[in-house]
Amino acid sequence: MIEEIFDRQIAASLQRLEMLWQRTDTLPKSPRNFMGEIEQISDRDEEMLLRQSLDELTFSLEELQVASEELRDRNQELATVQMALETERRRYQDLFDFAPDAYLVTNPEGVILEANQAAANLLNVRSDRIVGKPLVVFVPESARRDFRTQLFQRQNGQELRDWEVEIQPQKGQAFPAACTIVPVQNSHRQVVALRWQLRDITKLKQAEQVEQKLQMLDAILHASPIHLYVIDQTGKCIYASPEAARSWGKVQTDIVGKRWQDIGFPAHTMVSFDLQRQEVLRTGQSITGQISFPFADGIRYCEYTISLMQNLGSFVDAVVLTVKDITKHKQTEAEMNYALATQKELNRMKANFLSVIAQEFRTPLTNIIASAELVKIYGDKWSTEKKNQHLEQIRSAVQQTNQVLNDILLVFNATAGKLQFNPALLDLEKFCREQVEFFQPNAKNGCIITFSSQGNTSACLDKQLLRSILTNLLSNAIEYSPQGGQIKFDLICENREAIFCVKYEDSDVTKQERKQLFDLLYIGSDVGNIDGIGLELSIVQQCVDLHGGKITLSSEVGAQTVVTVTLPLRHLRSSDEQKPSH
């Protein structure tokens, strides 16, 4: 602001000087006579003197203008320096405010003049309310006398480092802190302020307590039956419990300070342990397993755990190996489980197999016997058409029996891994219609099968396996549908999947049994009244698995049953393409 006023004054002076020059140039000239020449000389001297004065004034004003410019430049430099100083001051203030440790500045009497955010957090006080409070109020009553003594002793200018003091934050729990106090002195070596650093050393104290507990733990381990080893990062055993040494027929001094290969332990076992030890050191994750050991009294089966040893000073890069002998438990458990599983499986397989076979053969054999008896008794009296009708029933029952035998063979081949998957290009819509046309004439109870298809139905599937799937789904639907029931058979080809969905009414399969229907040789609770469906659906499950598909069943007793088979669509390479088969 002063510079602008100074510049305006210089500019006004220059304007007035210019006006003087103009007026000087317009002064009248003297006449040329004798007396006039004398006056002319006098006036000329006066004019010359005036011009010299104006020249000097002009020069002075120009120098003043240059000085003004220099002053402006210096002021600009000063402003730049002041800005840099302010930036640096703010930087140091930020370093103070956001330092991770708690820093405070107090007067010699301990009244807080300045505190960073860490100090406010440590003392649990808002940063805008901490200034002006005596620091002693954050010290418990029992420790204030010692605090005031240390505060008074700082008046001599001596520093105090890592002084342990109890701090009581506002509305918080007291904690131990390490305190460093540095006096600030003026030019007369008088203490004018104190700088404080506070560090919460709760965790350090806890570590010391842990060390004491470890010493107690070491005494306990001497009496423990569990084998315990501590192994450092080089593979050297730095601790072995007495029980661990005894199990190998050794004493602790034979193991401590040595590596596995130096002790003579089994090489193949110790190599595995070394790899796992390195993995635990690298990841920090514990590893648990079971292994057999050739102890002094023979082979023993053991459970072991390798864990990282943390926060224990020189043992930070070590692992703890604990070994527990579970030989007796393992032997007993294995024997019991094997005996139980074997007996249970044998009983289940025997009962299910006999029940399924009896269930699947009962209906066709009953039909064969009944029709044969009728033909035997009334054959001479019946017409040819009537006789052929019963003969056709016998033929159909024989075909059904043959199908059961084929299904049993299919299941056992699949279980033995002998069933092969041979995909070929099929027209699925045509293939499904052929299955419907085969079942519709023989559908009992007047059931009606309706078929629909969507999408591109040309796909590469196993023809024989697909026939088994559809045959069993449709035969079950006919078997469990009521008189005149509707069976809906849908084929949907989309998203690289072929979906076969069969829906029918009044299923006699209970909700509890639904999840077991696809187990091999499962028998329903109503096996005495209804032909079994366990064999059929287990065949469907095997065939679906070979296709890499899935099967789902939704049913309620007396309601609609929905069986859905989803198979992934496969496509042959151009060199392997063939005409669709059906």
Q: Which of 155, 212, 214 is nearest to 185 (CA)?
A: 155
DSSP 431-478: HHHHHHHHHTTT-GGG-EEEEEEES--EEEEEHHHHHHHHHHHHHHHH
DSSP 20-82: HHHHHHTPPPPPSSHHHHHHHHHHHHHHHHHHHHHHHHHHHHHHHHHHHHHHHHHHHHHHHHH
Q: Residue 231 carries which side chain, given as an amino acid letter? A: I
Distance of CA 265 to the CA centre of its chain: 40
Within a 10 A sphere around the Cβ of 215, how many other Cβ atoms?
9
pLDDT at res. 29:
54
Dihedral angle over CA of 454, 455, 461, 466, nearest 10: 0
Q: Which of 511, 497, 487, 478 is nearest to 396 (CA)?
A: 478
List Cα–Cα distances, 450 to 24, 132, 428, 503, in angstroms.
127, 92, 16, 10
Query: Quick one: tokens of 95?
Result: 């370093």
3-state SS class at 363:
helix
CB 442 within 8 A of CB 568: no
**Helices 463-480 and 384-415: crossing angle, nearest 10°?**
120
pLDDT at res. 88:
73
Query: Quick one: tokens of 141?
Result: 């009553």
Provide the H-helix boundaries in 111-201: 117-123, 144-153
Output DSSP code: residue 319. E
Query: Quick one: tokens of 536?
Result: 């059929």
pLDDT tens readout for residues 258-300: 887 787 777 777 788 888 888 998 888 999 988 887 777 778 8
Q: What string of H, E and C letters represents the secondary structure of 65-104? A: HHHHHHHHHHHHHHHHHHHHHHHHHHHHHHHHHCCCCEEE
Give dist(CA 527, CA 521) in Å, integer: 12
Give dist(CA 183, CA 153) in Å, integer: 10
**Strand duo 486-494 + 448-454: pairing:** parallel
* Exposed / middle / buried, residue 269 (Cβ in 10 Å: 0-12, 13-18, 19+): middle
pLDDT at res. 409:
76
Q: Residue 159 carries which side chain, given as an amino acid letter? A: E
Distance of CA 127 to the CA centre of its chain: 38
Q: Which of 83, 74, 134 is nearest to 109 (CA)?
A: 134
Give me the residues of the chain with pLDDT under 70, please.
1-7, 9, 16-17, 20-47, 49, 89, 91-98, 310-316, 349, 353, 356, 411, 414-415, 417, 442, 444, 506-538, 556-558, 571-582
pLDDT at res. 490:
96
Give dist(CA 558, CA 561) in Å, integer: 9
pLDDT at res. 269:
75
pTM for this one? 0.37
Return the biggest CA–CA distance within the chain.
Answer: 190
Provide the H-helix boundaries in 236-326: 242-247, 252-255, 260-263, 267-283
CB 227 within 8 A of CB 293: no
CB 445 within 8 A of CB 485: yes
Give dist(CA 200, CA 214) in Å, integer: 24
Own/partner pairs for 108-114, CB < 8 Å, 24+ apart? 108/154, 108/155, 108/191, 108/192, 108/193, 108/194, 109/134, 109/151, 110/134, 110/135, 110/136, 110/151, 110/194, 111/135, 113/193
Distance of CA 68 to the CA centre of its chain: 70
3-state SS class at 107:
coil
Give dist(CA 218, CA 261) in Å, integer: 26
Give residue 547's region: left, alpha or beta (phi > 0; psi -120 to 50).
Answer: alpha
3-state SS class at 138:
helix
Residues, the chain: 582
Strands (E), 175-220: 175-185, 191-200
pLDDT at res. 526:
41
Query: Quick one: tokens of 294?
Result: 């050739």
Which residues are 423's β-sheet partners? 462
